[in-house]
Structure 1
């Protein structure tokens, strides 16, 4: 992974085509709709009047969901096509969301501390993920809530492996390696890397969630998605910054 930099990753993700952004504009994709969003919203609780940073906000769908629930939202996104899409949506239907085009690792001026920071499906795509996580926790008020989601390191490529074998198989868990995707590259890191680094940043864990797909949702999804009813493809971590 030595040839990867944040700048290179940002440039690659920032070329996501308009059609893909439109398809995920309302509430993300199938997995986000049924697995990630419900857990994120539950962990955040009542967001009315709370100042929330959506770190790596992508097309802005989560920022829009949070603003609709009464939060004061700032969305940070470095990728050009992603940022432009989010900003256009806000200009067309204003919700009071402030979008900032920046790499969070550059510590842009976001206007003061936040009650909560959400970083959903971002850290696996960031080469300098440790500094990105540090930037998220530094943006919090003392006692503030940090929630991040990642592909579950134990079951990252669950869907295609399950379709091929009817079970999950892995052989490289402890290594770091690239996982190429249609719009960019993710990087596998063991679960302990994320959790241990979080603890070094002065945070304490409050909850780990490993959502399972409800069978009724699996029945409406694509072929092989029933794997998600048996094993978790996503890990959701909630922590608070020490006062």
Structure 2
């Protein structure tokens, strides 16, 4: 079990440089634009008129994509620098998105119940996985849809390993441990850790998606060793419904 608390993790994310936060474009970054957004939106289904919680909304790019498609969006984000950026853009654009500062693991009243909850690249960064997933499921109406994405537990260091060796190497999977890279730690957990919690919360898994990069996009990107994302899935997206 991690010795890092939720407040420690939130403080680390809050210390991100502002220029890094502002570097996201309308579709996020390269992986989100080419590997994740299309699948997240497809798995969420029709959005017009639906209430959607963006759980761990960051600087708000995905909340804005949801609002563009007609959703009534509430974004929850605990990190100050990310929340401030999202609120600034909302004031400029006026899309009707409500942003709330809160720790997902202790989610307050933010307009529940929701028709859908999306939690993209968040759960792997939360020390208290059980509480965070429980909050997401509890925020939905019965029959609501929960879609979350994580770095694929079997391919977490895909790009770096591929660039160094020309193939992928893995020597630790079943144990849980901290991944210290980046501005704040992520937490490696085997896939079964996420699925056990999800099933235990009374959810029915409807789809598991392991997106691969389009070979043409890889060629046109000019990024060294990007073919790793064509050959292997760096991300995992799971859709479920609350019984």
**What is the TM-score of this pair, normalised by structure 2?**
0.97
Aligned position for 1:236: 237
Aligned position for 2:192: 192
**1:81-160 equivalence runs, <5 A:** 81-160=81-160
- How far does the alpha carbon of each residue in 1:9-36 deviate from its partner, in whole angstroms, 9 at most, with x for none? 0000111112111211411110000001
CA root-mean-square deviation? 1.0
**Per-residue deviation at 1:60?**
0.3
Aligned position for 1:170: 170
Aligned position for 1:34: 34
Q: Is 1:226 paired with 2:224?
A: no
**How many angstroms apart in 1 are the aligned matches of 2:12 and 2:82?**
11
- How far does the alpha carbon of each residue in 1:184-241 deviate from its partner, in whole angstroms, 9 at most, with x for none? 1101000111011100000000000000100111123321111000000000000000
**How many angstroms apart in 2 are the aligned matches of 1:199 and 1:91?**
39
Aligned position for 2:45: 45
**How many angstroms apart in 1 are the aligned matches of 2:30 and 2:220?**
10
Give SS of 1:225's match: coil
**What is the TM-score of this pair, normalised by structure 1?**
0.97
Aligned position for 2:62: 62
**Misfit runs of 4+, over 2 Å:** none
Give SS of 1:229's match: helix
Give SS of 2:8's match: helix
Give SS of 2:220's match: coil
Q: Is 1:216 paired with 2:216?
A: yes
**Per-residue deviation at 1:138?**
0.3
- How far does the alpha carbon of each residue in 1:67-99 deviate from its partner, in whole angstroms, 9 at most, with x for none? 011000000000010000001110111100000
**How many angstroms apart in 1 are the aligned matches of 2:118 and 2:107?**
16
**How many angstroms apart in 2 are the aligned matches of 1:14 and 1:226?**
33
Unaligned regions of 5+ residues in structure 2, if any? Answer: none
Aligned length: 242
Unaligned regions of 5+ residues in structure 1, if any? Answer: none
**How many angstroms apart in 2 are the aligned matches of 1:2 and 1:211?**
29
